[in-house]
Structure 1
Amino acid sequence: MDRRAPPTRCAVITPFLNKKSAKGHVDRRSPEARLAEAVGLAAAIDLDVVYAGLISLSEVKPATYLGSGKVEEIHDIVHDQEVGLVFVDAALSPVQQRNLEKAFEAKVVDRTALILEIFGSRARTKEGTLQVELAHLNYQRSRLVRSWTHLERQRGGFGFLGGPGETQIEADRRQIGERILRIERDLEQVKRTRALHRTSRKRVPYPVVALVGYTNAGKSTLFNRLTKAEVMAQDLLFATLDPTLRAVDLPHGTRIILSDTVGFISELPTQLVAAFRATLEEVIEADVILHVRDVSHPDTDAQAADVRDVLTELGIDLETGRVIDVWNKVDLLTPEDHERLTNTAVRTDATERPVLVSALTGEGAEALLSIVEGRITAGRVTLKVTIPAEDGEGLGWLYRHGEVLARETDEDGVLRVSLRILPERAALVKRRFGAASVRPG
């Protein structure tokens, strides 16, 4: 017998400024597309969406965000539909949230709060849990307003000199501040550990390729396709949260570390960007970044712009050739759209040319790996190194510091190794084996 409580009945409200009030500001998405995404966010945390609606605003009201007429209208909907939670797809101030809860007689969450809840439910590792808790606490600290009477109670001091003590709100704020400091120290240790891992990978060296993209663009499905792994991949916003790394051998033998990262979303809460800085450093330090786009989605251009905004915020230069656009889900396109996008890709300059793939069917996956390999090895030099066949330690050194393309032993017992390596490491090879034993490949 299933004794689980039924899902919370939810109303999703997407307010937007009408054209007259927007004063020239052009939203990347239509209101209908924003509402559809908001419903997807609610579904991602198993809310039972019983009502979803758009609200056109002439202005944002300081007290309630919405106009009084709309507030009454939604109150009736909440009452008639027995709604327990109202998701307002906007950034509400603490006062607006409190006033709406009183008016609706139901719990109200804004966009930031709901995304934080989703991340909290998805976190699996200690690191992910810490990052989400840090974002939650920073959000809660800004919400410590006098909305409940218990926050105005005072804690008395001890003995005769205790004085009036501190109010409950001050105590809560202090406790949150102390917890934030502890989490930040723990995350600093995570950051140091990641830095050590990256340093060790550079010594090997394996290039790092990071998958980024809008949530639900198919990153995890593509990750599974390229690595033959089984990372959770569902048609669900933020299906995966914690980063996953796997080694992948490219067509001509180059080994890379492929990293699957958290998905981005429009208006990603600043608390989350800050909290996930340690995780996103895998993207910042990556040799190549694969920007995975769902080209079957009607808002694919707007989603791509949102991802580029976050990458720019992280300090990543999008013009350096590190980013490869991956146009995913081409299996969902009509034949005409597939041909049109293929022609568009062919006409694009080779340094910026997107790759059409279907992570589900495997179409374009091998071509993508070849392009990644070409991008990684473009700046490397090939050397021919001659060493004695019995120098096993020297051969191991070459494998650790470069990419061995071929090796053969001649009749005189001399081992000739073809090696691809970063230009700055060429001098290191000559010092180790002697300039006479090393020549350009």
Structure 2
Amino acid sequence: MTRTSLNLNDHTLRTGSSVDTEDSVPAHFDGIDTTTPGEAELQDRLALRRVNGLSTELHDITEVEYRSLRLERVVLIGVWTSGTQEDADNSLFELKQLAETAGAVVLAGLTQRRSKPDPATYIGSGKAAELRDIVEATGADTVICDGELTPGQLRQLEEAVKVKVIDRTALILDIFAQHARSREGKAQVELAQLTYLLPRLRGWGEALSRQTGTSGGGNGGVGLRGPGETKLETDRRRIHRRMAKLRRELAHMAVAREVKRDRRRSRKVPAVAIAGYTNAGKSSLLNRITGAGVLVEDALFATLDPTVRRARTPDGRLFTLSDTVGFVRHLPHQLVEAFRSTLEEVTEADLILHVVDGSHPDPEQQIASVRQVFAEIDATDIPELIVINKIDAADETQLRQLRTKYPGMVEVSARTGEGIGELLQAIAEALPESEHEVTVLLPYERGDLVSRIHQEGRILSEEHTASGTVLHAWVSPELAGQLDRYATVAS
């Protein structure tokens, strides 16, 4: 069988040919063009379109050897149903980033324009045959679809292309599984994976079946005749049992998280949550403000476990700053449900810092995707401060457009520190005012109260006298009640 060579720089794969090669039959024969302009336009609209720049290039020979041993070789395929071609390309480029984060070499990326995905094979039987030829020509061993496939689409597309097929949801779940570190994070990811897997369980033929029919028709031999439980039913029962156990464990962990949150509330410390698109620089921003030392990596979903640190505004007000898991377009619903206890850091916050990657080609689409997740977790009523990060690498024209659309936004660079002072000032102005102004004379034996005022309040002035420490400060209502007996008149 002759192996067809594939030009990876071809822009479009035309309908009716498996792969564009020099031996392909042209649209005209004997000098007579048999294709009408309408047919040509229709063919062009319905063709699988190759997206340039979607191949992983390797330069270091050690990296080549490492990847050739470990990483899968994948072809990306997306169906473009609405929006512009640029939107479709951006979505596929994001899928490329996801695939490389999961550990794969991207060989090619293709998009197809359709009014809606094909209910049988996602891209249609004809395009599935073309995709199979591309897979053979490139030597790929996996196809990744830019969307969530139904169990039937997954099975039939695999049968057509003869290699493993996964969808965007399975890819994101795989990345989460690789990055989960804490006990809670691992349990959340496993629950999301089992929720995704349950409707997609497949039987593997009669070899693993425990149901062989009646005693007269059964062929399983002595002890195996009669009705029984199939392997598929056994797997489902085990998954349901495991999911119930994981939900109980997560409920206990949620109680512990709520206890910590109640402790912060009792001290009346305002809570600020950092949220935003994955790889927007949220952890870098947390490190820049608080020196938290959180893992920072140029990869999608590098942070899964929330981190909470204390910080102060320029006028001395204490607040907590929490880093949360990043969002992405078409974030799987299973993940939103499984990570609900973690996402409560956002829903319980007094202010959300919505961090946006200013260097991304389409930051407005990222903002829309994140706000969609906010709606899913009932966080739309919480005050939101748009923070455009990576301004040192952003396009000035794009920044001007963002300033026009989001006039209250703050521009920062977590890498260089530019704009951090303005951000802290904006946080101070946005946080709720729930403090009392007090002037107290504290005896030196009440150093515990002096320490609490320093930790939880805002010191306006401090003076050490013969009778004790005179403090003029803003404190929480609860602490103000304990300081009433020491109140004095300000000079």
TM-score, structure 1 length as denominator?
0.86
CA distance in 1, matches of 2:317, 2:298: 32
Identity of aligned pairs, percent? 40
Deviation at 1:398, TM superposition (A): 4.5
- Aligned 1:46-65 pairs, distance under 5 A: 46-65=103-122
Matches within 5 A, 1:387-406: 387-396=442-451, 398=453, 402-406=457-461
- Aligned residue type for 1:85: T
Change (3 A) 1:163 1:225: same
- Residue number in structure 2 paired with 1:324: 385
Cα distance change of structure 1 residues 245 and 69 upon mapping to structure 2, 3 Å threshold? same
Change (3 A) 1:65 1:429: same
State the 1:380 CA deviation.
Answer: 3.1
Distance 2:147 2:121 in 1: 12
Evaluate the alpha carbon distance shift between residue 438 and residue 291 of structure 1 in structure 2; reply closer, same or farther with a 3 A threshold: farther
CA–CA separation in structure 2 for the residues paired with 1:312 and 1:249: 29
Structure 2 distance, partners of 1:92, 1:440, is 69
- What does residue range 101-116 of structure 1 map to in structure 2 within 5 Å? 101-116=158-173
- Residue ranges of structure 2 left out of the alignment (5+ in a row): 1-61, 214-221
Query: Do 1:10 and 1:50's aligned partners in 2 also have CA atoms closer than 8 Å?
Result: yes
Query: Which aligned pairs between 1:302-321 and structure 2 lie closer than 5 A?
Result: 302-318=365-381, 320=382
Q: Which residue of 2 aligns with 1:83?
A: 140
Q: Give the CA deviation at 1:209.
A: 1.7
Q: Deviations over 1:350-388 (max 9, x none)?
A: xxx110011111110121112212322644332223444
Greater relative contact order: 1 or 2 (C-alpha under 8 angstroms, separation 6 or more)? 1
Q: Retained in 1: the 8 A contact 2:413–2:420?
A: yes
Distance 1:327 1:145, change over 3 A: same
Equivalent of 2:72 in 8, 11, 23 = 8
Distance in 2 of aligned mates of 1:302 and 1:62: 27
CA 1:237/1:373 → structure 2, altered by over 3 Å: closer, same or farther? Answer: same
Q: What residue in structure 1 maps to residue 150 of structure 2?
A: 93
* Alignment check: 8 A CA contact 1:358 1:365 kept: yes
Shift of 1:61: 2.3
SS of residue paired to 1:154? coil
Are 2:272 and 1:215 aligned?
no
SS at match of 1:44: helix
Q: Deviations over 1:248-307 (max 9, x none)?
A: 233333333221111100110000000001111111112221100112212100110111
Aligned pairs for 1:186-335 (under 5 A) are 186-318=249-381, 320=382, 322-335=383-396
Change in Cα spacing, 1:101 to 1:184, as seen in structure 2 (3 Å) is same
1:55 to partner: Cα distance? 1.4
Letter in 1 for 2:315: H
**Residue pair 2:350, 2:431 contacting (<8 A) in 1 also:** yes
Kept after mapping to 1: 8 A contact 2:270/2:432: no
Cα distance between partner residues in 2 of 1:204 and 1:369: 21
Tell me, yes or no, if the aligned pair for 2:198 and 2:236 is still in contact at 8 Å: yes
Distance in structure 1 (CA, Å) of the matches to 2:328 and 2:355: 13
Q: Secondary structure at the match of 2:70?
A: coil
RMSD, aligned CA: 3.0
The answer to which of 42-51 and 54-63 deviates more is: 54-63
Q: Secondary structure at the match of 1:293?
A: strand
- In the alignment, the residues of structure 2 paired with residue 335 and residue 36 of structure 1 have an alpha-carbon distance, to the nearest angstrom, of 22
Aligned to 1:429: 480
Higher alpha-carbon deviation: 292-301 or 309-318: 309-318
1:324 match: secondary structure? strand
Q: TM-score, normalised by structure 2?
A: 0.78
The change in CA–CA distance for 1:375 and 1:363 in structure 2 (over 3 A counts) is same
Cα offset, 1:45, TM superposition: 0.8
- Show the counterpart of 1:415: 469
Against the structure 1 CA distance between its residues 46 and 398, is the aligned structure 2 distance closer, same or farther, given a 3 Å change threshold? same
| Aligned 8 A contact 2:158 2:165 in 1 | yes
Q: Distance in 1 between matches of 2:86 and 2:243?
A: 35
Amino acid at match of 2:166: V
Q: Which shifted more, 355-364 or 203-212?
A: 203-212
1:66 matched residue in structure 2: 123
CA distance change for structure 1 residues 342 and 34 in 2, over 3 Å: closer, same or farther?
closer
From 337, 344, 369, the counterpart of 2:424: 369
Tell me the residue number matched to 2:53.
none
Seen in structure 2, the aligned counterparts of structure 1 residues 399 and 298 have a Cα distance that, compared at 3 Å, is same
Q: Which has the larger radius of gyration?
A: 2
State the shift of 1:204 in Å: 3.6
Number of residue pairs the alignment of both structures matches:
419
C-alpha distance in structure 2 between counterparts of 1:313 and 1:303, whole Å: 16
Give the partner amino acid of 2:419: G
Are 2:317 and 2:456, in contact at CA under 8 Å, matched by a contact in 1?
no
Deviation at residue 332 of structure 1 after TM alignment: 1.3
The aligned amino acid for 1:362 is G
CA–CA separation in structure 2 for the residues paired with 1:361 and 1:420: 33
Change (3 A) 1:6 1:396: closer
Change (3 A) 1:437 1:381: closer
Return the offset for 1:42. Answer: 0.7
Q: 1:200 is matched by which residue type in structure 2?
A: R
Give the deviation of 1:189 after TM superposition. Answer: 1.1
Shift, 1:8, TM fit = 0.8
1:199/1:439 Cα in 2 relative to 1: closer, same or farther (>3 Å)? Answer: farther
